[in-house]
Chains A and B, each alone.
Chain A
Amino acid sequence: MSTFREWINRLLYLGRHHRFTGEMSDEVRFHIEARAAELQESGISKEEAEARARREFGSTQLALEDSRAAWQFRWLEDLITDLRVGFRMLWRSPGFSALAILCLTLGIGANAAVFSWVEGILFRPYPAVVHQERLMALTGTARGESGPTGLSWPDYLDLKKNATLFDAFFVSQIMGTTLSIGDRAERAIGSIVSSNYFDALGVHPVLGRGFEAGEDTGRNAHPVTVISYQLWQGRFKGDPAIVGKTQRFNGVVHTIIGVAPEGFYGTFVGWAMQFWVPASMEDTFEAGGYKLEDRGSRWMEAYVRLKPGVSQRQAQAELSAIARRLEIDFPATNRGRSAKLWPLWQTPFNNANTLLPTLGIMLAVVVFVLLIACANVGNLLLVRSFARRHEITVRAAVGAGRGRLLKQLLTEGLILSALGAAGGLLAAHWSRHALVLLFPARGGVSMYLPGDLDWRVLGLSAGVCIITTLLLGLVPAMQASKIDLAAALKSEMGGVVGGHGKSWIRSSLVVAQVSLSFVLLVGAGLLIQSLQKIRSGHPGFSTHGVVATSIDLVGAGYDEPRARDFDDELMLRVRALPGVESATLSRMSPLGFRSYSSSPIALDGYQTPPEEQPTVQYNEVGPDYFATLGIPLVTGRDFTPADDEKGALVAVVNETMAAQFWKGKSPLGQRLQVKGRWMQVVGVARDSKYSSIRELPKPFFYVPLRQNFAILPCLTIRTLLATETIAPVLAREVHALDGNLAPYEVISMQEQVDRSTASQQVAVTLLGVLGALALALAAIGLYGVMSYAVSQSTRELGLRMALGAGSSDLLRLVMKDGLVMTATGVVVGALAALGLTRLLGDMLYKVSPRDPLAFGSALLVMLIAASVACFLPAWRAARTDPMRALRNE
């Protein structure tokens, strides 16, 4: 007999199942009548024969049920019944259902949103790219430096030529530029790429072509560009004849050769690229001259794709071996240099890196929130299962097996969590781009940080949903399997809540919620304090009374002599403005968006350790820079207008550099070699923060802007005027000099500090939101349990009142019970937090993971929330009418 035949027969049955009961009843009736007739023949009265025949047959209903069961897909029909019953139950108590679904929506939604961010930002950041699972980031390393460095073009070519374990090697270096369309100029973000970029990614332009081999060689030899779909649609209005037209970038006319497909945003987490140019155009976009032939200029970032089956270790070993050979062949530039592979989610040079710790913590936090939500819904279900114990007992009595009851309860849990998951995914879908909102736009360009709700996220959410279901179904199921429910309910002793026989489950769920949310509150407190420390900590320059902006002379087509004249004119005008104390120009302002120049250095009287090639970052600054920024000079002097092209080459070093290279002797008057030019140290400046507020003190020096000219300067002004007041004045002055020019956004240095700490801000915001959510859920849980306890203890409360207890006694009694639970939760939570807050690790800045202030404020917040949650039930208890309560008995 084939099972297939059985399935066919069962399916055929579905067509006539409505006739089945009637036919079966007829058949059974015939059977009983036939038996009765036979009995009657043996001489028994008709009535007795009929009665006996019926008795012999037993339950006709059961025979009918069992017969039908033979034809049915049992589990399916059970499921349908369970679902129908489940929906009916939920519909009957809409308040409960709405609250439960809301809790789960928040819990599952928070999870799905964070999963989608992790997926879209860390694991699969480049959805349009083929085989991104084998893609890895590639950077340089320097002995004695822990972080990554850039790669030089010649090193990249040599690595690519000699490596065998890779499918693809390509360069993708982010850069900003000014896009001028007609008389309008806007900031745009693009990438300098190797010519194999689009082929390596498997991305095919929708119009025109990608770059061709050879277009990445020759200084400024190939002014061509591929633009993004968004740029094509937005700026160029989807012009179908765009290929072959030209666009000016940084003053150089580029021919548009292709349009990238929709949904391709380049390869830099955090920003959507708007155009790509071949590496040969590097000189046009990067400061510091043509670097493609300079092995010592480490300016770019790269990616590789491993061949299938090649491990990161093997690939790294091969690259390290090649790098060692380069070290031997080119000792002058490559001493102590190597190359390093990074998994995409650890990519050190884009925002994956800054968001990794935040997202890691968020993953843990959303699991907490989900647990709290589950505990809450479990509690609600539990309370309801008391109300339903009559129904459950009846169903058990009429023969429903425990398995069957369990299945019903699990089905209800499934309905709740499925609705919660649906709501959660919707919430996650809406918030998939929400992460960007937490970051301020910089220079008018907002970040691009998409969440990705792909099948993995959906699968993970489904997993969460199933676990939730089990958790939810289990709680009332545990309750349902208790036989002596009634007895347990009667054993009322001691307090209103704590002493109840079976209420320990509910109480411990509340305690768990309180402790979980306490941990989150402590975490939020610690991060808030870190952020405050970061923002209030002295960065080494003035944050108040100093504003900065920049003017894009490159985009306006200025050459060096014209830019110098403009700078001079501008400084004269700005310094003369009322309210301006001092003003200066520099290539970079501290904590800015771009990167500093850096150079290998040599100096008199300092023996370079054989393994080391010291490379130090520096800034090109104008006269009065230190006075304007408020960076104190330890000794020596600030730059003056005399430090220009005609003056002697000079430099100012910071304290750390002085200590590291001159070992306690004064560096004043000593010589320093930068990019082959010797300059004399004329001052030592205090250490300050350069790239990040959290960086450790590092060697750094300054050179006069005039002796190391950059066309794109930052203007920094010391003034007591507000940014809004000075911005239009500045715009007017700039416009007066050149009608085509306007300064970028004017921001205070405090704003600059705030922007540079955006990722901390994001962590604080997210943890704050989720912490508040957890607190609210815990408070709802506490309120629910206390209300239920009070409603169940009306008789006891009435009795106490009849025996002389006053309202305030009852109020105190209920409050005490609630606060005891809270206190237990806080103790458990505090112990957990002591162990867990260490995991915040790097996110904490000058705050101990056991900071008493954070723990104290979490306690305070928790107690306030708990008191509010308990007060309402307590107040209701205090108003118990003893007569009514006792009469209810």
Chain B
Amino acid sequence: MASNEIPQLLPGTLFMLILQALARGPLHGYAIARRIKNASDHGLEIEDGSLYPALNRMLVKGWLKAEWGTSENNRKARFYRLTAEGRKQLHTEAEEFNKLVKSIQLVMRTV
């Protein structure tokens, strides 16, 4: 990275990243943000302000379910988990994204 700024998320990938973060099990909102940040080695950061609207939009779509539980430090927190539909959506989006990335790489290497 030339600058130390955190790069912008590619448009349209926020839902996919959240779905992927939840693929291994339910998490609360803060944990989702942290997991994406850590997994990308601080390369990606979700703005806190846009995380919750996105989660709610996905709830509306039926990809996620939310339920109240207890956090690691014994606090009341809201946990999100994938529904079957959400898993299917993750699969589709990931596939499409891989295809896109491969095509871009192909262009970048050959042209």
Chain A residues near B (Cβ < 8 Å): 1, 5-6, 9-10, 13, 23-24, 26-28, 30-31, 33-35, 37-38, 56-59, 62-64, 66-71
Contacts and interface: CB of A to CB of B under 8 A. Distances in A.
Specify which of A24, A57, A67 lies most central, judged by the most chain B CB atoms within 10 Å of its CB. Answer: A67
Contacts of B47: 58
B76 A67 contact: no
A6 B60 contact: yes
A58 B49 CA distance: 6
Contact of B76 (A26, A37, A70): A26
B44 interface: no
Specify which of B50, B53, B55, B85 lies most central, judged by the most chain A CB atoms within 10 Å of its CB. Answer: B53
B77 A30 contact: yes
A30 B71 contact: yes
Interface of chain B, main secondary structure: helix
Nearest to A64: B52
A28 B56 CA distance: 13
A6 B62 contact: yes
B28 to A, nearest CB: 7
A1 B89 contact: yes
Given A30-B75, A31-B29, A34-B71, A62 B59 contact: no
Nearest to B88: A1
A207 B85 CA distance: 67
A13 B66 CA distance: 13
B61 interface: yes
Interface residues of B, number: 28
Contacts of B28: 27, 30
A70 B56 contact: yes
B87 interface: no
B65 to A, nearest CB: 11
B89 A31 contact: no
Contacts of B85: 1
A627 B6 CA distance: 113
Given A6-B62, A30-B28, A58 B52 contact: no
Contacts of A6: 60-62
5 contacts: A9-B60, A34-B75, A57-B48, A64-B52, A67-B55
B97 interface: no
Contacts of B29: 27, 30-31
Specify which of A6, A10, A33, A70 lies most central, judged by the most chain B CB atoms within 10 Å of its CB. Answer: A70
Given A1-B61, A6-B60, A57-B49, 12 more contacts: A1-B85, A5-B61, A5-B62, A9-B60, A26-B76, A27-B77, A30-B71, A58-B48, A63-B48, A63-B49, A67-B55, A70-B59
A69 B76 CA distance: 25
B49 A10 contact: no
Contacts of A67: 52-53, 55-56
B26 to A, nearest CB: 14
Contacts, number: 78
A38 B34 CA distance: 11
B78 A27 contact: yes
A212 to B, nearest CB: 70
Given A30-B71, A30-B77, A34-B71, A71 B60 contact: yes
A664 to B, nearest CB: 97
A27 B30 CA distance: 9
Contacts of A35: 30, 48
Given A1-B62, A6-B60, A23 B78 contact: yes
Nearest to B31: A34
Nearest to B55: A67
A585 B69 CA distance: 108
A9 B47 CA distance: 26
Interface in B72-92: 73, 75-78, 85, 89
B57 interface: yes
Contact of B57 (A28, A59, A62, A70): A70
A28 B85 CA distance: 26
Contact of B52 (A10, A13, A33, A63): A63
Nearest to A28: B52
Specify which of B33, B34, B78 lies most central, judged by the most chain A CB atoms within 10 Å of its CB. Answer: B78
A69 B30 CA distance: 21
A66 B56 CA distance: 9
Contact of B56 (A5, A37, A62, A71): A71
B48 A56 contact: yes
Interface string B32-46: 011000000000000
A510 B51 CA distance: 54
B60 A31 contact: no
A1 B89 CA distance: 8
B49 A70 contact: no
Contact of A30 (B51, B62, B76): B76
A28 to B, nearest CB: 7
A57 to B, nearest CB: 4
A67 B57 CA distance: 7
Nearest to A34: B30
Contact of A9 (B30, B49, B59, B73): B59
B68 to A, nearest CB: 8
B18 to A, nearest CB: 14
Contacts of A69: 53
Contact of B60 (A10, A58, A62): A10
A155 to B, nearest CB: 75
Contacts of A1: 61-63, 85, 89
Contacts of B71: 30, 34
B62 A9 contact: yes
Nearest to A37: B73
A9 B60 CA distance: 6
Contacts of A56: 48
B29 to A, nearest CB: 5
Contacts of A38: 34
